[in-house]
């Protein structure tokens, strides 16, 4: 019996290719099943991401060069400070990071720092070995020198009863004085002085600025460090109260104050001026004797205060106190004819200050020059800004020598045996002698009125002293007025 399957029966002899197709389909199906199982098991990744639970392969980073073991720090600012030997470079330091939560403290007032103790500088004595530049003398026109005779046993200083009486008078004038303020002027002691000379008047703006303009020709910005390496004075560039304008070429003031006493000048500036014209600063003993005379007056004119003879904060008519012409108050002259040794401006003297110096043996030696060292210098005579207590000829005050104030000026002295009416022979010129400038540069006004004309020095010739008989007792000289102190 046979069965007939139709076409299959007819292809039974050539059907090999059909089985090949069937095998391929079955192989693909098996591979698909195995792939699905692999994905489920986490063995196979899809798009390079492993499924949860599978370990991640470690990435490999390829760089051109390896990184350094230690990173190079950012550069910090280098501080450069000038020194006398050149420029010194300080090693850079890390800049600290400030916590922004911290508050910035308000600045506090900077306390006045006085210099450390300095050894005594010998009192400059006149010498015949040096010549004073006549051009400088002609420009400055120094004050007239008054002869002061020598004396033995001059009673210098004051006594406790005098100080007590002065305090009572001060309190009656609504001042604030205490006995302690006068204790450094005691004990009274005998002093022997050789003859000397003293400027009749305080040094004026016109005189001092002629000196500064002379120095400026060879020492630019001389005011800042031109007097023995220290400041000579303060100008409008560093003091709101200074009347002196400095324009990098000249020192000037408004002409109306030319004959007022110079202030805001340092002790070094005062000394430099005096020595440049062949004179020197008076010692404290010389100053007091020139003010009191052999009678030992409390004030230059006597023992009783008289507001019509001096300018202090207690004026005769109650007007505002102010500096006045250096020729003012002729009736307040000392027994030797020296003007304004009480009031107007206090005056630098040569000596270092020591509150206890009067009690030491050195104070009684002939021609004493004060302590061998110190931190402050003595100034004498009181000023327009003080009560009469400070204008007593016996009173002592002190101040830092490299500072200037609106109430301290000065006058010069000279040795009697070498001084002349115009200038003493002496070492004269400042350290590093100043060469003689072109005479045409001193006190000559330019005829070029164009806007670009170079500034010239102001007239520096000081008018000759007005005869005493023709001077008013208190001229009304306009000036810059500061509030009077007590």
Domain parsing of the chain, residue ranges: 127-434
Percent of the chain with pLDDT over 90: 58
DSSP string of 208-258, one letter each residue: HHHHHHHHHTTSTTHHHHTBTTB--B--TTT-TT---EE-SS-EE--GGGT
**Under 8 Å between Cβ of 310 and 299:** yes
- pLDDT > 80? residue 125: no
- pLDDT > 80? residue 78: no
Percent of the chain with pLDDT over 70: 59
More confidently predicted of 474 and 291: 291
More confidently predicted of 432 and 260: 260
> What is the average pLDDT score of the chain?
74
Nearest to 118 by CA among 352, 346, 456, 296: 352
Give 168-192 pLDDT, tens digit per residue.
999 999 999 999 999 999 999 999 9
For the segment 430-457, the average pLDDT, to the nearest whole number, is 36
Give 352-405 pLDDT, tens digit per residue.
999 999 999 999 999 999 999 999 999 999 999 999 999 999 999 999 999 999
127-434 adopts what CATH topology? 3.90.1580
For the segment 106-112, the average pLDDT, to the nearest whole number, is 36
- Model confidence, pTM: 0.64
More confidently predicted of 17 and 214: 214
- pLDDT > 50? residue 460: no
More confidently predicted of 215 and 450: 215
- pLDDT > 80? residue 54: no
């Amino acid at each position: 019996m046979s069965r007939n399957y139709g076409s299959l029966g007819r292809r039974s002899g050539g059907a090999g290719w059909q089985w090949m197709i069937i095998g391929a389909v079955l192989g693909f199906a098996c591979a698909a099943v195995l792939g699905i199982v692999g994905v489920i098991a986490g063995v196979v990744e899809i798009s390079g991401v492993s499924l949860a639970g599978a370990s991640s392969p470690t990435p490999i980073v390829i760089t051109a060069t390896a990184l350094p073991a230690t990173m190079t720090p950012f550069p910090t600012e280098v501080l450069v400070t000038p020194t006398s030997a050149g420029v010194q470079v300080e090693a850079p330091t890390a800049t600290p990071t400030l916590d922004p939560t911290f508050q910035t403290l308000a600045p506090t007032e900077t306390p006045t720092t006085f210099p450390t103790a300095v050894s005594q500088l010998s009192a400059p004595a006149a010498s015949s070995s040096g010549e004073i530049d006549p051009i400088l003398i002609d420009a400055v026109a120094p004050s007239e020198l008054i002869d002061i005779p020598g004396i033995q046993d001059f009673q210098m200083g004051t006594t406790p009863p005098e100080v007590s009486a002065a305090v009572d008078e001060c309190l009656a004038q609504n001042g604030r004085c205490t006995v302690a303020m006068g204790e450094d002027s005691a004990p009274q002691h005998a002093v022997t002085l050789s003859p000397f000379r003293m400027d009749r008047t305080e040094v004026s703006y016109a005189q001092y600025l002629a000196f500064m303009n002379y120095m400026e020709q060879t020492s630019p910005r001389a005011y800042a460090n031109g007097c023995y390496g220290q400041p000579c004075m303060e100008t409008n560039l560093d003091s709101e109260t200074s009347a002196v304008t400095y324009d990098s070429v000249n020192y000037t003031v408004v002409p109306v104050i030319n004959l007022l006493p110079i202030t805001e000048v340092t002790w070094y500036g005062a000394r430099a001026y005096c020595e440049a014209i062949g004179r020197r600063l008076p010692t404290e003993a010389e100053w007091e004797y020139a003010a009191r005379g052999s009678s030992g007056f409390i004030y230059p004119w006597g023992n009783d205060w008289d507001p019509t003879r001096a300018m202090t904060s207690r004026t005769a008519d109650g007007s505002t106190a102010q500096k006045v012409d250096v020729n003012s108050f002729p009736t307040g002259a000392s027994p030797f004819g020296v003007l304004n040794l009480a009031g107007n401006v206090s005056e630098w003297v040569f000596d270092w200050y020591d509150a206890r110096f009067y009690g030491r043996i050195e104070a009684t030696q002939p021609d004493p020059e004060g302590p061998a060292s110190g931190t402050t210098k003595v100034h004498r005579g009181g000023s327009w800004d003080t009560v009469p207590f400070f204008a007593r000829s016996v009173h002592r005050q002190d101040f830092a020598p490299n500072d200037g104030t609106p109430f301290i000026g000065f006058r010069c002295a000279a040795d009697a045996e070498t001084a002349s009416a115009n200038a003493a022979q002496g070492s004269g010129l400042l350290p590093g002698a100043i060469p003689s400038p072109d005479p045409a540069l001193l006190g000559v006004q330019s005829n070029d009125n164009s806007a670009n004309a170079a500034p010239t020095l102001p007239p520096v010739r000081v008018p000759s002293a007005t005869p005493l008989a023709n001077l008013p007792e208190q001229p009304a000289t306009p000036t810059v007025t500061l509030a009077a102190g007590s």
